[in-house]
Structure formats: structure tokens, C-alpha cells
């Protein structure tokens, strides 16, 4: 049962697997979202996701996701592994894979060509361990923006990339809803970046949520468009759901409730993860996947299929196959999934016959204990140029990279006078944000240190902070005047959107995948070292090809 085979009976584009064909990712029709459905761009046929999560040695929802020391394997950087796995994926009728973390400095042409040659698309998460929006200590800043745009730069050229997830289960508890504002801001800025770089218009940005109590508010929040600003709305919605365990049913699993809820949703919805292992007779590797008949049956009018979690068997007891000595050995649930998918005959819609009617929902309001994120204003646009200009303009700057020492200095400065730190404020519940709140932690500390220094009449002793800071001769580089004027001398102004390429240009060849130091930026997320700051500083904050029809 769990043995490897050459699968000579499958037409899998063997020439592509050997790397002899032209890059078919240039020719494969893009997938585009129209209203509540996905369609092939070439012939208007509806696209239903039949996918698998594909990331080796990586727990997408574990605590290591916020640990910058966690290493990961880029699943799209090794062509030999892709050629090993793709034939087995095609047994499962796979037409999409989800990858959780890639190294944007690596070459992905080989794998992406192989996937495209086999009609397989990709949805990629934008974060990586240590560089993603933290649920309890959220921020949207230059290190995150640099990472997200680098991934977009790396994958935008491939027509078989459907889009990106700006966050995965960032809000997993009721007291974390304030973090949604920072994810929504990242959606706005990454969509804006795709547009500014003139990348393919069908590239979408979405969010994947867990099946949590705040799921309904989250769905409305990310799809709502305050001020009719469509750039703040997600392009698709991923739902990580594990409520159908074993031989459950439509009612007991609450699948029916989810269909009812999303029936008037304005963008495509799909299961970004599914495949419960709890209580399965025979153990985790014996999932029967009886939910497949429903997901690709009466649910297709609302849901666009799903992505099974996951390909590689790991310590969390999820996985369809075991990899040993570079051979693929399927588990029994691989066979179950294959059998269930072989039987489905979904009813499809043609884009020419589909007229979207659903509109954006109202944004949830802040109040009580259920929702703590304003939809407008959101955190300001992240502009690396502004931060660079600001640092050059200071008379007191921070030159130390010892981030472990930043917290005490933040607390001292902001405790001395809150006004020194108004330029870095980021309160999702009140909607108050400083223009420098999107800069790196080091730059934020430099800004408030300079505010303190100036208030002390530029005394030399007021620009030391235990050796972290020192004075410098301020400079105003070309193009900085307008940015600095907009931000204001105390950081209380506005932030113009950045221009030009961001991620790749800022990468400098730094690698973050296995075998290299993890984390594009070495500075930690703001709250990692400054929790006490928000007691004395912002006490009110609630930080909280033609004719392809492969299904």
C-alpha cells in the first residue's frame, strides 16, 4: 500500500520533469477571481481547488512561526523533490498547492515549470518564521513589508501563481482581534504594491482563518471596504476547518452553517486547510475523507473547493505520504482521498453566464469584548524611504543593533513624556497611529530618542541611552523633503505610499530558508521587547492552455 512506483501510466509531462521544455508557466492560463468564483482566464471555465498543503518540516500554526531561529525548507527551490512528488500529486487530481514559506532569493523556475506543465497552481503565504504578523504583539512595519514584497517579486512572473495569503490564523483567540487591523493594512499595501509594479492584475491577496469564535467578524472585516476603498478588501478567503472528523455529516460538521453564512460573500471562499485526524478509526493516517463528496457536491455554489492538510507526514500526525530515502510511500488516507476525488462530478459555472451580485459586507464595530479593530483608519502605509530619510535627518540616532536593550529605553523615554512617542503610536482600537509606526523597531527608537534629545535642549548627555545612541550631523537626501514634511516633525502627519521596487531591491541576497540564517531583518517585532512600554506609554491601547478543465 505504502510503496513508491514510477507511475508510467500517468501522462505527467515527463519532458517537463526532466527540464527540457520551455517554461510553461508563461503559457498556462491564469486563474482570476470574479465575484464569488475562480475562473480560467482563457475559456471562462470555473476553477475548483483540489489541493494539498506542501511544506516540509514546518508547522504553519505552531509557536515556532514567530521564532526567528526556526529554519524551514523552501518547497519550490528543489526541482528534484518536485519531480519526485508531482506524479503522486496528480494521482490525487491536484490542481493547486499551498506553500507556507519560500525563500525569495532562491530560483523557483524548475519547480514552477514542472507544476505548470502538470496544470498545478500555487497559493503562497507571504510570511516566514520570525517575519509574520504576531497575534498578540501585532505590527505592520518595514521588516514585514520587505519580506512580503520580496515574496511577491519572486513569484509574480509565474502565471500559475493564483495569489498570496497575507496572514494565516493571525487571530486565533477573542483577545487578539486588534491584530486584524495590521493584517488588513498588509492586504492594502501588498495589493497596492502589485498594482504599482504592474504585475498581473489577477494576482490576489487573501487571508486564511482558523475556525475560531470571531470567524464571522473576521470574514466581514477583511471583505468590508470602508470609504469604498477596494484596496483594503481581500481578494479571496481561506478557511482552515477541521470540523468534519471521520464519518461526520453536513449538519454535525457545521458545513451547512458555513455555506449559509458565506452564501452572500463577495469574493471566493475555499478550505485553505481541511482533513481532521481526531477520532479517526485506525488512526491519523486512515482519514476517510468522506467530506469530499459534499465539498465538491452541493457546496460548489458557494465554496471553491479546498486544500488538504498536508502532504508530508510530520510530528503533528498530519500527512498523506512518508518520504524515506527520497521515495514516496502513500498512507491509507492518500488512497481514500484519491478514491473520493475520483467520484466527484461537480456542477460548474461559466464566467459568461455568471453575474456577481454579492456586495461588500458592513465592517464590524469596535465594542465590548468581541471586536477591537477599527476598519478605518488602518495603520499607515509602510514606506521604507520615509524611514530612511527620517533616520538621516535626526541629530540623535541609534546605532546599536542590540535589540534586547531597546525595551528599557522605550519605557524610559515614553514614560518621561508620552508626546515623545506619539509618532510611533499604533492603537488598532482607537485608530490612532503615528507616521513612524511602520518603521523598524530600531528606527522607531531612534525617532523617540531624538524627540527626547531635542526636548532636553540638545544636551550631549541626553543622547546616549547606555551607549545605544549618539549624535550625528543631520542630512536631507534628495527626495526626502516631501516625505519628511508629510510625516511632520513629531510624526503626527501622514505617510505617502512608497514608490518603486521594494522587496527584491531591499533583500541584498539575504537567505532565510534552511541552511542560512533565518529572518531577512534582524530586528525583532516591536512588542517582542517593549511590552512594558504599553503600560506607561499607551495605557488605552487594546493591542490587542485552451480548454483546460482540470479540477
Active site residues: 169, 273
Question: φ and ψ at 171, to 5 degrees?
Answer: -100, 105
Torsion of the alpha carbons at 98, 101, 103 and 104, rounded to the nearest 10: 70
Say how far apart CA 126 and CA 502 lie, in whole Å: 14
Question: φ and ψ at 359, to 5 degrees?
Answer: -120, 165
Say how far apart CA 132 and CA 517 lie, in whole Å: 16
**Alpha carbon of residue 159 to chain centroid:** 19
DSSP3 helix / strand / coil % (the chain, rounded to 5): 35, 15, 50
Say how far apart CA 236 and CA 222 lie, in whole Å: 10
Say how far apart CA 441 and CA 137 lie, in whole Å: 13
Task: List the alpha helices (DSSP H) in 268-348.
Answer: 292-295, 332-343
Q: Which three cell numbers stand for residue 36?
A: 464569488
Are 90 and 347 contacting, i.e. CB atoms less than 8 angstroms apart?
A: no
Q: Which residues contact 447 (CB under 8 A, 6 or more apart)?
A: 390, 394, 423, 424, 436, 439, 491
Report the half-sphere exposure of 414 (CA within 13 A, side-chain side).
25
Measure the N-to-C terminal CA separation of the chain; round to a whole number of Å: 25
**Alpha carbon of residue 94 to chain centroid:** 22
Say how far apart CA 251 and CA 235 lie, in whole Å: 28
Amino acid at each position: 500500500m505504502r510503496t513508491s512506483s514510477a507511475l508510467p501510466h500517468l501522462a505527467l509531462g515527463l519532458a517537463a520533469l526532466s527540464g527540457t521544455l520551455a517554461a510553461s508557466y508563461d503559457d498556462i492560463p491564469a486563474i482570476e477571481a470574479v465575484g464569488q468564483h475562480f475562473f480560467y482566464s482563457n475559456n471562462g471555465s470555473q476553477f475548483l481547488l483540489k489541493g494539498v498543503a506542501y511544506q516540509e518540516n514546518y508547522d504553519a500554526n505552531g509557536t515556532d512561526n514567530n521564532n526567528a531561529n526556526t529554519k524551514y525548507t523552501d518547497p519550490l527551490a528543489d526541482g528534484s523533490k518536485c519531480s519526485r512528488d508531482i506524479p503522486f500529486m496528480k494521482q490525487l487530481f491536484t490542481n493547486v498547492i499551498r506553500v507556507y514559506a519560500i525563500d525569495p532569493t532562491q530560483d523557483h523556475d524548475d519547480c514552477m515549470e514542472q507544476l505548470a506543465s502538470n496544470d498545478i497552481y500555487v497559493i503562497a503565504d507571504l510570511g516566514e518564521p520570525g517575519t509574520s504578523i504576531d497575534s498578540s504583539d501585532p505590527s505592520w512595519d518595514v521588516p514585514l513589508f520587505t519580506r512580503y514584497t520580496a515574496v511577491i517579486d519572486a513569484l509574480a512572473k509565474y502565471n500559475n501563481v493564483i495569489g498570496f495569503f497575507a496572514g494565516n490564523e493571525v487571530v486565533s483567540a477573542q483577545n487578539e482581534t486588534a491584530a486584524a487591523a495590521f493584517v488588513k493594512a498588509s492586504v492594502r499595501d501588498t495589493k497596492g504594491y502589485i498594482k504599482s509594479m504592474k504585475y498581473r492584475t489577477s494576482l490576489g491577496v487573501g487571508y486564511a482563518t482558523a475556525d475560531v469564535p470571531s470567524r464571522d467578524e473576521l470574514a466581514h472585516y477583511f471583505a468590508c471596504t470602508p470609504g469604498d476603498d477596494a484596496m483594503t478588501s481581500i481578494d479571496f478567503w481561506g478557511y482552515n476547518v477541521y470540523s468534519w472528523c471521520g464519518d461526520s455529516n453536513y449538519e454535525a460538521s457545521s458545513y451547512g452553517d458555513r455555506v449559509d453564512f458565506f452564501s452572500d460573500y463577495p469574493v471566493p471562499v475555499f478550505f485553505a486547510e481541511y482533513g481532521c485526524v481526531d477520532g479517526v478509526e485506525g488512526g491519523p493516517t486512515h482519514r476517510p475523507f468522506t467530506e469530499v463528496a459534499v465539498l465538491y457536491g452541493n457546496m460548489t455554489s458557494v465554496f471553491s473547493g479546498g486544500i488538504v492538510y498536508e502532504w508530508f507526514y510530520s510530528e503533528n500526525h498530519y500527512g498523506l505520504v512518508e518520504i524515506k530515502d527520497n521515495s514516496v510511500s502513500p498512507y491509507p488516507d492518500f488512497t481514500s482521498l484519491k478514491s473520493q476525488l475520483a467520484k466527484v462530478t461537480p456542477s460548474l459555472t461559466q464566467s459568461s453566464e455568471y453575474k456577481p451580485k454579492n456586495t461588500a459586507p458592513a465592517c464590524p464595530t469596535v465594542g465590548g469584548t468581541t471586536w477591537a479593530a477599527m476598519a478605518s483608519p488602518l495603520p499607515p502605509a509602510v514606506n521604507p524611504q520615509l524611514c530612511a530619510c527620517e533616520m538621516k535627518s535626526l541629530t540623535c540616532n541609534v546605532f546599536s543593533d542590540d535589540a534586547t536593550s531597546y525595551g528599557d529605553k522605550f519605557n524610559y523615554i515614553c514614560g518621561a513624556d508620552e508626546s515623545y512617542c506619539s509618532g510611533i503610536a499604533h492603537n488598532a482600537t482607537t485608530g490612532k497611529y503615528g507616521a513612524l509606526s511602520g518603521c523598524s523597531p530600531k528606527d522607531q527608537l531612534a525617532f523617540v530618542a531624538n524627540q527626547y534629545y531635542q526636548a532636553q535642549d540638545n544636551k550631549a548627555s541626553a543622547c546616549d541611552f547606555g551607549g545605544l545612541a549618539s549624535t550625528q550631523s543631520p542630512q536631507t537626501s534628495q527626495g526626502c523633503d516631501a516625505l519628511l514634511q508629510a510625516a511632520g516633525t513629531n510624526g503626527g502627519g501622514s505617510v505617502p505610499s512608497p514608490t518603486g521596487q521594494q522587496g527584491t531591491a531591499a533583500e541584498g541576497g539575504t537567505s532565510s530558508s534552511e541552511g542560512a540564517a533565518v529572518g531577512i531583518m534582524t530586528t525583532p517585532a516591536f512588542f517582542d521587547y517593549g511590552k512594558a512600554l504599553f503600560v506607561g506609554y499607551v495605557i488605552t491601547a487594546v493591542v490587542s492552455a485552451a480548454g483546460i478543465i482540470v479540477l
